[in-house]
Amino acid sequence: MNVLRHFFWAPLVCVSLILAGCGGGGSPSSNQSTQTQSMALSVTSSGNGSGVVTSSDGKINCGATCSATYADGATVTLTAAPNSGSTFGGWSGGGCTGTATTCAVTVASAATVTADFISSGSPSYTLTVTDSGTGLGTVTSSDGKINCGAACSANYSSGATVTLTAAPNSDSTFDGWSGGGCTGTATTCTVTISAAESVTANFTTTSAQTYTLTVTDSGTGVGTVTSSDGKISCGATCSATYTDGATVTLTAAPNSNSTFDGWSGGGCPGTATTCTVTIASAESVTADFTITSVPTYTLTATDSGAGLGVITSGDGKINCGSSCSASYSSGTQVTLTATPNSGSTFAGWSGGACSGTSTSCTVTMSAAVTATATFDLSTPPPTTFTLAVSIPESGGQELGYVSGNTSPFIDCGSTIIGGSGHVGIVCSAKYNSGTNVTLTETPLSGHVFGGWSGGGCSGTGTTCTVTMSANVTVTATFTAPASQTVTLTPADVNYIAYSPTTNASSTVYQNEGVVLVGQLFGFNINDPGCALYTEYESLVSFNINGAGLTGKTIDSATLTLTAEGVNSSGQYVEGFQTAVFSSTWFPDSVTWNSAASLDAYTNGWASATEWEYGSAPTSNGQQYTVDATYLVQNWANATFANDGLAFISSKYISTCALTLGENDTYTLSPSLTVNYH
C-alpha cells in the first residue's frame, strides 16, 4: 500500500511544482501509467504420495515453479494431478478445501495452498471432530483441512500426525478432549493416524454451574475405572469437572486377580460393570474390587415389627426397601443404619452380632449373616379440629371484637373508633380434641352485642365456652344502638362590620343572638356621585362537645336557616353564602372568602350551599336547609379545627354605584339538627 501512496501523490507533487514555476506548463507525460498492488501465491504439497499442481494461466507448475505474483483481485484456478502410485487427498490453505482436483483462488493477499498426495499402497483414514457440552467453540487442524464449524472431517494417510486446536467462543470455556487419544484440558491435542478416529471437544457455557465427579475404589482387589469421555481414568485421573445436567458413563475393569464387586454412591447401584451418573451436584462414586482368592459372604438385612422403616449400608450396596443383600469380602466391616418411617419408631437390632437400640450397627464379615431391624408403630398424633369465628360486617366494618383464652389465641374483629384502636386478624385456629376454648366479646364503642350462635354458643352473655369435638364456626353479632336526635342553637354569634369604601377599621360585635349579613348604603357627602356602605358578615359557632357529639357516629345533620329580618330590595345584594373555618377565627384579621376560610361546598359536605342570586329570602319566616352530615362528622371526629360557620355576602357592588341610601341586609336564625349514635 505504501507503493500505491507514492504513485498516488506523484501527480499531485508535479502539479504543485508546476504552480510554483517548476517545469513547463504542458500536460503529463504520456508514458505515465496507473500501477496496482501485486501479491504472491505459493503452492506446497504434503502426504506420503507425490503429484504436480498447475495454475490455469501456466505461471505455476509445481514441481518446478511453485509460486507466482498476481494482481490484487485476480482469480487463479489450481489443478492437482497425482503421480502414478498416488492419489489426491485434498486441499488446505488459501481458501481451498475438499478433495476435488481443482480449486479457484481469489488473490487478496499473499497466500499458500497445500495439496495432499497419498501413496496408493498406503491406507488412509478419516479423522472426525465433534463438539459437546452447553458451550460453543471451533476446532481446527494445523494443516487447515479441519475447521469445525464448517469442515469437521478429513482423510489422512496412515502415520500422519494432526494437531487439533480448540477455541471457545466468547461466552464459553474449553472443558477438555475425549476420543482419538486426546485427553485433558489443554487447548491443543496431537493425533497420530493409524485408524479412523473421532475426537470430541467439550465446551461449557461460562455461566453454567459445574460440579466435580470423583471416583474411588475399595475392597481387597484392584481395578481401573474410566469415563466414556476419557476425562476420568482411575488409576491416574480420578476426578473431573462436568456441567450441571451432564451424563457420564463409568466402566469398572478389575485386574486379572480380582473381580468387580459393585458400585456405591452417585446413584450407582448393583454389580454391572457400567454405571451412568447424571451430574446435579458434586458426586463421589466408589467401585469395589475383591481379590479372587479371598472368600466372599452375603450380608442380608430384614425388618420386623408392626412399624415400617428402611435399612441402608454405609457403602450404599444395601438399601432395604429395594436391595436387601450384598456380597462382601471376608474381613470387610459394614455399617448398617435403621431409619423408621413417619408414624413408626426403631425398637432395636437382632442377628449378625447386632443388638441394642442405637440406629446404627457395624458387622464384620466372616460368614453369611442376617441382621434384623425391628420397627414399632409410634403413638398416633392427637386429633385436631378447627374453631372459626365469624363477625358480620355493617357498612364494610366489623362492629366488635372476639378473643380466645387458649393458645393458639383467637384474635378476631375490630375495636376501632375514629381511626384508632385494635384490629385482630386471627379468626380461626386448630385445637386438640377435647380442648375447652372460652371466647369473649367486646363491642365497638357505641354498639351493643347482639348474641352468639353456632358451636353450642347462644344467648347474649359476654363469654361462651366451646369444647372441641368437631370443626365448628361461632358467630358473634354486634349491632348499632337506635339513633338519637339533638337540635343545637348557636353557642355564639359574632358580627364583623367594615367599610370597603373608606377602608375604616373593622368593628366586631360579639355574643349576638342572630346572624346579620349584607350591606348598608348611605349618601357620601364628600362625593355626591358615590355611596358609602358598610358590609356585615357573621361567624356562628355550635358547641359540638357540649352536645355530647364528640366521637359519635353522625347518621345525619341538617343546618336550618330562618329569615328573621329581610331589608333588601334585591337590587345590589342578592344573597349570601356559608363557609367553614379551618383555623381559629380572629375577627380583626380575617380575610373573608379566602384561604383563611374553607368554603363548605368545595369540601363536599353539601352541594349548592348558597342562596343563589335569585333565591335569596324575600320575607320573614322563610327557611333554607343544608345537608351538614359530612361537616358535623368532621367536627365530632375533631378533624375540622373548630365548629364555626361564616356567613358573607355573595355579591359586592362597585364603589360610587349609588347616590341614595339603601339597606340590603338579612337577619337569620340558624339551628343544627343532628341524628347520631
- Per-residue model confidence as pLDDT tens digits over 384-403: 999 999 988 876 667 888 99
Q: Which set of grid coordinates corresponds to residue 170?
A: 466468547
pLDDT at 291: 80
Question: Which of 207-216, 445-454, 567-576 is least confident?
Answer: 567-576
- The pLDDT-based confidence of 464 (bands split at 50, 70, 90) is very high
Contact 516, 637 (CB under 8 A): no
pLDDT at 531: 59
DSSP string of 408-459, one letter each residue? SPPEEEE--BTTBS-EEEE-EEEEETT-EEEEEEEEPTT-EEEEEESTT--S
Q: Is the pLDDT of residue 437 over 50?
A: yes
Distance, CA of 311 to CA of 338 (rounded, Å): 5
Percent with pLDDT over 90 in the chain: 21
Q: Which set of grid coordinates corresponds to residue 667?
A: 337577619
- Give the Å distances, CA to CA, from 173 to 114, 131, 191, 259: 31, 12, 22, 39
Which sign does the torsion angle of CA 167, 170, 171, 173 carry? Answer: positive
pLDDT at 24: 37
Q: Is the pLDDT of residue 188 over 90?
A: yes
- 8's enclosing H/E stretch is helix 2-19
Amino acid at 512: E
Question: Which of 42-46, 428-432, 571-575 is least confident?
Answer: 571-575
Contact 433, 383 (CB under 8 A): yes
Mean per-residue pLDDT for 84-106?
85
Which position has the higher pLDDT, 333 or 601? 333
Which position has the higher pLDDT, 588 or 293? 293
Q: Is 288 exposed, middle or buried (0-12, 13-18, 19+ CB in 10 A)?
A: buried
Q: Is the pLDDT of residue 168 over 80?
A: yes
Q: Give the tens place of pLDDT for each residue, 550-585.
A: 888 888 888 887 878 776 554 444 445 454 443 333
Mean per-residue pLDDT for 208-228?
86
Identify which of 343, 218, 363, 378 has the alpha carbon closest to the alpha carbon of residue 301: 363
- The pLDDT-based confidence of 594 (bands split at 50, 70, 90) is very low
Question: Angle at CA 405, nearest 5°, toward 403 and 408?
Answer: 85
pLDDT at 456: 92
Percent with pLDDT over 70 in the chain: 75
Q: Is the pLDDT of residue 481 over 90?
A: no
pLDDT at 643: 59
pLDDT at 79: 95
Q: Which set of grid coordinates corresponds to residue 565?
A: 329580618
- The pLDDT-based confidence of 300 (bands split at 50, 70, 90) is very high
pLDDT at 521: 59
Residue linked to cell 498476481: 70
Which position has the higher pLDDT, 198 or 150? 198
pLDDT at 327: 83
How far, rounded to the nearest angstrom, does the alpha carbon of residue 630 sit from its chain's CA centroid? 45
Mean per-residue pLDDT for 24-44?
62
Question: Which of 171-185, 240-254, 558-572 is least confident?
Answer: 558-572
Average pLDDT, the chain: 77
pLDDT at 451: 92
Mean per-residue pLDDT for 470-477?
93
To the question of pTM greater than 0.85 for the whole model, the response is no
Instruction: Please compute, for residue 377, the number of CA atoms within 13 A of its CA located in the half-sphere on the CB side.
Output: 4
Q: Is the pLDDT of residue 29 over 70?
A: no
CB neighbours (10 Å) of residue 383?
10
- The pLDDT-based confidence of 667 (bands split at 50, 70, 90) is confident
Q: Give the tens place of pLDDT for each residue, 610-658.
A: 443 345 666 777 777 777 787 788 888 877 655 567 666 655 455 555 4
Q: Give the tens place of pLDDT for each residue, 261-297.
A: 888 888 888 888 999 999 889 999 988 888 877 788 8
List beta partners, residue 139. Answer: 148, 166
- The pLDDT-based confidence of 187 (bands split at 50, 70, 90) is very high
- The pLDDT-based confidence of 64 (bands split at 50, 70, 90) is low
Question: Which of 31-45, 160-174, 496-510 is least confident?
Answer: 496-510
pLDDT at 46: 80
Which sign does the torsion angle of CA 342, 345, 348, 350 carry? Answer: negative
Contact 592, 599 (CB under 8 A): no
